[in-house]
Amino acid sequence: DELVDQMKDDLYDGMKEEIEEAVRILLERNWTPYDILTKSLVAGMQIVGDDFRDGILFVPEVLLAANAMKGGMAILKPLLVETGAPKMGKMVIGTVKGDIHDIGKNLVAMMMEGAGFEIVDLGINNPAEDYIGALQSEDAQILGMSALLTTTMPYMKVVIDQLTEMGKRDDYIVLVGGAPLNAEFGKAIGADAYCDDAAIAVQTAKELMA
Ligand code: B1M
């Protein structure tokens, strides 16, 4: 699709308004919000990530791309979260301490909300006490943690260990995700599940809540 190719270029170039316009056009063409997200925005960000890794793009450009992506996501959010579904449970979600990547976490939050979960979004850079405090004060059943850096993903274990020390680990379903993680890591740190993407997070949460 020509427009989708154009969107990948525009995302790469950080063209927020163009991305927003293209999202609206795809919606008019009856694309589902989920397809727009995955096939244009997430796919485009993948290209940005590759060139960032290879030293072709730098932080300022990647920030612009992220900003453009967020513009597109903001249009899709109301469509993804509107739901007549009965409440499925409550999830506290946030990116771990030292880590400011939030696009994937936001996507998981949106899709979970769309599936009928209540979401308490703690944002980025969360120490263990923020997660644990929110789980308790919000009376949530699910903890979701996101990390995009190999240097920050071990912090997930710090949070889980703290819950264990408090004797509260089994009170919650702990889901983890983020590009550098895998199922083996999730298991090793004592999470209930590693979630490869937002759709799998929804599916896993439903299964574990049942
Ligand atoms: Co960063 N960055 N970045 N970055 N950045 C990565 C992660 C990197 C892989 C790029 C690369 O080198 N190829 C690399 C990490 C390398 C490593 O650790 N081995 C990296 C680096 C090095 C850095 C800095 C250190 C760069 C620097 O300053 N020198 C710095 C760190 C800052 C910090 O956090 N302390 C940094 C900064 C940034 C920006 C600020 C410029 C920007 C973030 C903007 C923002 O988020 N608001 C940024 C971006 C955009 C990226 C890439 C390009 C894209 C990430 C993204 O949004 N992807 C990324 C490259 C990549 O990942 N390939 C990269 C789209 C998103 C939808 O996917 O987040 O994977 P993702 O989420 C997925 C799944 O992982 C899953 O569901 C989502 C999809 O459905 N998921 C979960 C995610 N969280 C979940 C939680 C769950 C469940 C599933 O809970 C239940």
How high is the pLDDT of residue 84? 67
Smallest Cα–Cα separation from 149: which of 91, 190, 101?
101
Residue nearest to atom 46 of ligand 1 (CA): 101
14 vs 7: CA distance, rounded Å: 10
- Is the Cβ atom of 175 under 6 angstroms away from ligand 1? yes
pLDDT band for position 155 (50/70/90)?
Answer: very high
- Is the Cβ atom of 183 under 6 angstroms away from ligand 1? no
Find the 177 Cα to ligand 1 centroid distance in Å: 11
3-state secondary structure of 99: coil
pTM exceeds 0.80, yes or no: yes
Find the 148 Cα to ligand 1 centroid distance in Å: 4
How high is the pLDDT of residue 54? 96
Residue nearest to atom 16 of ligand 1 (CA): 149
Burial of residue 125 (number of CB atoms within 10 Å: 0-12, 13-18, 19+): middle
How high is the pLDDT of residue 115? 87
Asked if ipTM goes beyond 0.90, one says yes
Atom of ligand 1 minimally distant from the CA of 151: 18
* Whether the predicted pLDDT of 116 surpasses 80: yes
3-state secondary structure of 173: strand
Phi-psi region of 50 (alpha: psi -120 to 50; beta: other; left: phi over 0): alpha
